[in-house]
Amino acid sequence: MEEYLDKKLEQYGNSDYYPFHMPGHKRRNLPFPNPYKIDITEIEGFDNLHHSNDILAEAQKRAAKLYGSKKTYYLVNGSTCGILSAISAAVKKGDRILIARNSHQSVYHAAYLNALFMVYLNPTVAFQGIQGSIHPEDVDAALKEYPDIKAVVITSPTYDGIVSDIAEIGNIVHKKGIPLIVDEAHGAHFGFSEYFPQTSVRLGADVVIQSLHKQFPCFTQTALLHLNSDLIKEKEIEKYLRIYETSSPSYILMASMEQCIRFVGEKKEQLFSEYEKKLDNFYQCAEKLHNIKILQEQDFSEKEIFGKDPSKLIISVKNTNICSRDLYESLLSKYHLQMEMESGFYVLGMTSIMDEDNGFLRLFNALEDIDKCLFYKKDINTANLIKEIYRLKKKEMEFFTAMDKDTVCVSFEEAVGKISGTTVFLYPPGIPVLLPGEVISKDFIINLRECIKLGQNLCGIADIINEKIDVIRF
């Protein structure tokens, strides 16, 4: 029988599957107009997002006030278009840029489009192979080694909720008179309560990009770009938003943003105090588990992480007889709990101010049930493998040059010593382990095979089963 997306979604929306994933509205109804009644174009009286001076300008001012930024832009193409625009506005074509290696693909795409020479900051690989924070001293060292760097881009928080010391990194970057761009796509809920980390907007970053749809009750694709200094010009940001953002911004999405900002602004004390109680209660209950462990800030060393967002539930099955895939599948099939992702030895649950007591209770009951059947089994040291696979590769060609080269698909053996023509990344979290232009070493192939054997979800390899990968054709 033929399946239709709209019908399938409607059916799913009415099912008992509980979302521990984005979007942050958690499929709960907020009072919202019928989408057909409000889906318009730039008609009289409704302003134009790309040249706003009326109702949309006011809406964006309200968002700026809520977050304390100098100027805020609504984005309807997700954080992706904000990151592309911010980087493009901060540099000139052919400049050098300092980026965290664990950047989202949009950062790499901006580097490609602007032919940027990239210098990398490596996050520490923390407990269980989770990517840790970026150290301020590494930023300082890189800026000293490459005095021509024109901008710095950091992801904080990461997909797993790990934050870096943005205030200190900002001080270092600003001594050079260049801007700090923070990808805070996963941190739109920061800065409203001390329970969560502070937002980079208030920590001195020049541009901060946040996805509203990830953590807040807002439709998918909604995001904000906060411009907070004069180091990047408004005119430049606006020029690139016109390039990277649709010329037909959806009024449904913009209405959702307006509603979300108003909802959070008016109810933040109540919303966050209830949210904190639910999270505290969940973490407390989880201490009763014997084999499964929910990782918290105190489980990492200060060297590994600067801080952690408690809204991200890192559910670890390390040193048990199951792997994260088993836990993920069991939660889904038996308990109808859809998690955000599984990676190596943990499953990630995304929570938001919209989560209900019942959702947390269902998750805890399911974990308690599963936990009873587990036993201790020492794991191989995957943290080391992850560290090795992420180790920086020798760069033979700039990313932007390599991206435009013809490639040829060869066996893993033949690929050794050749230049990669593909981006290989572990998904989630989507961080590259190999980029076009980097040399494929024998060790890399050994580690790649090990990751495949462990069932890690590797993307960007032409044929995993027959061990084929794209290299640059000479």
Ligand X SMILES: Cc1ncc(COP(=O)(O)O)c(C=O)c1O
* Cβ-contact 197, 187 below 8 angstroms: yes
Closest to 383 (Cα-Cα) out of 329, 282, 332, 451: 451
Query: Residue from 80, 114, 128, 316 that binds ligand X (CB under 6 A)?
Result: 80
Closest to 128 (Cα-Cα) out of 430, 432, 435, 381: 381
Distance CA 253, CA 331 (A): 32
Side-chain-side CA neighbours of 185 within 13 Å: the count stands at: 25
Nearer to ligand X, 310 or 421 (CB): 310
Question: Is position 200 an interface residue for ligand X (rule: CB under 6 A)?
Answer: no
Least gap, CB of 6 to ligand X (angstroms): 22
Question: Is position 226 an interface residue for ligand X (rule: CB under 6 A)?
Answer: no
Q: Residues binding ligand X: what is the number (CB under 6 A)?
A: 12
Side-chain-side CA neighbours of 260 within 13 Å: the count stands at: 32
Closest to 190 (Cα-Cα) out of 342, 182, 220: 182
Stretch that binds ligand X, among 78-86, 238-246, 343-351, 401-409 (CB under 6 A): 78-86
Closest to 188 (Cα-Cα) out of 229, 157, 155: 157
Least gap, CB of 164 to ligand X (angstroms): 12
Least gap, CB of 106 to ligand X (angstroms): 6
**Could you tell me which residues come within 8 angstroms of residue 94 by beta carbon, excluding any fewer than 6 positions away?**
114, 115, 116, 117
> Which stretch of DSSP H or E encloses residue 330?
helix 324-333
Query: Residue from 19, 23, 78, 136 that binds ligand X (CB under 6 A)?
Result: 78
* Distance in Å from the first CA to the final CA of the chain: 48
Nearer to ligand X, 218 or 232 (CB): 218
Distance CA 59, CA 67 (A): 13
Nearer to ligand X, 116 or 366 (CB): 116
Between strands 18-20 and 337-339, the pairing is parallel
Query: Residue from 52, 72, 79, 316 that binds ligand X (CB under 6 A)?
Result: 79
Give the three-state DSSP class for 297.
helix
Long-range contacts of 269-273 (CB under 8 A, 24+ apart): 271/353, 272/192, 272/193, 272/195, 272/196, 272/353, 273/193
Tokens of 444: 């890399």
Nearer to ligand X, 181 or 223 (CB): 223
Question: Is position 211 an interface residue for ligand X (rule: CB under 6 A)?
Answer: yes
Stretch that binds ligand X, among 10-18, 72-80, 241-249, 397-405 (CB under 6 A): 72-80
Site for ligand X in 439-468 (CB under 6 A): none
Least gap, CB of 455 to ligand X (angstroms): 22
Stretch that binds ligand X, among 74-82, 298-306, 313-321, 347-355 (CB under 6 A): 74-82
Least gap, CB of 104 to ligand X (angstroms): 3
Nearer to ligand X, 223 or 271 (CB): 223
Nearer to ligand X, 80 or 422 (CB): 80
Site string (143-172) toward ligand X, x via CB under 6 A: ------------x---x-------------
Least gap, CB of 358 to ligand X (angstroms): 27
Query: Residue from 86, 223, 232, 347 that binds ligand X (CB under 6 A)?
Result: 223
Nearer to ligand X, 183 or 304 (CB): 183
Distance CA 237, CA 75 (A): 12
Nearer to ligand X, 183 or 245 (CB): 183
Least gap, CB of 86 to ligand X (angstroms): 11
Question: Is position 130 an interface residue for ligand X (rule: CB under 6 A)?
Answer: no
Nearer to ligand X, 305 or 415 (CB): 305
Residues forming beta bridges with residue 207, ordered by sequence position? 181, 227
Question: Is position 352 an interface residue for ligand X (rule: CB under 6 A)?
Answer: no
Query: Residue from 104, 308, 318, 393 that binds ligand X (CB under 6 A)?
Result: 104
DSSP string spanning 136-186? Answer: HHHHHHHHHH-TTEEEEEEESS-TT-EE--HHHHHHHHHHTT--EEEE-TT
* Cβ-contact 116, 400 below 8 angstroms: yes
* Cβ-contact 64, 391 below 8 angstroms: no
Question: Is position 219 an interface residue for ligand X (rule: CB under 6 A)?
Answer: no
Stretch that binds ligand X, among 6-14, 181-189, 418-426, 447-455 (CB under 6 A): 181-189
Instruction: Summarize as ranges the residues that interact with ligand X (CB under 6 A).
Output: 78-80, 104, 106, 155, 159, 183, 185-186, 211, 223
